[in-house]
Amino acid sequence: MLKAVEPETEAHPASILLSWLTLFGCAVGRAAWVTVGARRHYPTLFTGIVGRTSDAKGDSYSVGLYPFRLADPLFASACIANGVGSGEGLVERVGDEQITTDKKGEPLVIPGALDKRLVVRLSELSRAFRVGRRDSSTLSEMLREAWDGEPISIPNRKANALCATGYSISVLGDITPEVLGRLLATGGAGTEGVDGYANRFLWCHIRSPRSLPGGGSVGVLDAYADRLKGIMAKAKGVGEVRRDADTERLWHEVYGSLKASADTVPHTDRARPYVVRFSLLYALADGERVIREPHLRAALAVWDYCRASAQRLFAPAFGGRTPVATPEPTPDPLWLQALTLIQ
């Protein structure tokens, strides 16, 4: 799909791809997962597209959403929230059924969300940071819990408690490099750079690769709608997904470098879970119930781009930071070193 639509848009292919993966993962929801220790990783992503106003960030989202409007119109219309106002509003959007009492003391049932899949779409990702910094705001906390997939709740309401379980929440937002730098600057007003909020995001730094004065045609994606619809339907019945033996060996080979990623590149602490989630997404998109080596290599390639984006965006601001020397980070495998040099 990317090869077909790339010449038809000013959006960068990386931002289109990350938009597709984010939307696809949320559409699948909790129907597929990878178990790591005691935790399940579902195919949900928090993605930040970083570029100038002229870099067609909004176009990448529009192109990304287009095939889902054809393949799953209900998801595209009912499961995307353009903006977020509070942690309470987030929980309520995917909330469970509530049983409380009315003014007469009679039982009152408040229905829960009919569809617990939700993509929080933010054309200004900085809004989520600023709302989260308000006094008594729970948005940052709720989003961090949502990334982990844990139950999220607002227990201290006067009338009734809000709780959400079994949901699928993804975030897809746009931001400029200057605004992002100020939000995460050392000594800034917030704590997102150190409390695990910023490193829950995949940072995708882009520049528009071409100019199309007359625009292009996303209609080239129409031919893929039925295949996408079939893949999504199949993915919703997969359940637990595991790596095969060859993929497991590759995973052990790259694990050390992924674990040490944040020693040298800020806000890349979650390299391991994100590569797990990417590899799950590629297996599902391939119609597979097993993660095979090509799926993991594709996942590593996407992560390499996000890591390089974080290096470009954040490393200069951390110029005085000394990488952790003990224990020594495991070197990147030779194939990854070669790819980095080529890029």
Residue 321 has pLDDT above 70, yes or no: no
Residue 18 has pLDDT above 70, yes or no: yes
Q: When comparing pLDDT for 117 and 102, which is higher?
A: 117
Mean pLDDT value across residues 112-137: 92
% residues pLDDT > 70 (the chain): 93
Q: How confident is the model at residue 201 (pLDDT cuts 50, 70, 90)?
A: very high
Mean pLDDT value across residues 182-189: 72
Bridging pattern class, strands 168-175 and 117-122: parallel
Q: When comparing pLDDT for 257 and 317, which is higher?
A: 257
151, two tokens: 């139950």
Element (H, E) at 68: helix 57-71
Which residue range is the domain that position 143 belongs to? 2-342
d(CA 303, CA 310): 10
For the segment 77-103, what is each residue's pLDDT rounded down to a tens digit? Answer: 999 999 888 998 999 999 999 887 778
For the segment 297-309, what is each residue's pLDDT rounded down to a tens digit? Answer: 999 999 999 999 9
pLDDT at 337: 78
Nearest to 128 by CA among 95, 94, 83: 83
How many separate domains does the chain show? 1
In this structure, of 184-188, 234-238, 274-278, the range with the lowest mean pLDDT score is: 184-188
Residue 187 has pLDDT above 60, yes or no: no
pLDDT at 212: 92
Residue 109 has pLDDT above 90, yes or no: no
187 Rama class: left (phi>0) / alpha (psi -120 to 50) / beta = left
Residue 157 has pLDDT above 70, yes or no: no
Whether a cis peptide bond, with omega within 30° of 0, leads into 327 is yes
CATH code for position 308: 3.40.50
pTM of full prediction above 0.75: yes
Mean pLDDT value across residues 160-168: 87
Mean pLDDT value across residues 305-317: 88
pLDDT at 248: 97
pLDDT at 124: 94
d(CA 20, CA 301): 16
For the segment 240-269, what is each residue's pLDDT rounded down to a tens digit? Answer: 999 999 999 999 999 999 999 999 999 999
pLDDT at 160: 61
d(CA 324, CA 203): 22
% residues pLDDT > 90 (the chain): 75
pLDDT at 156: 65
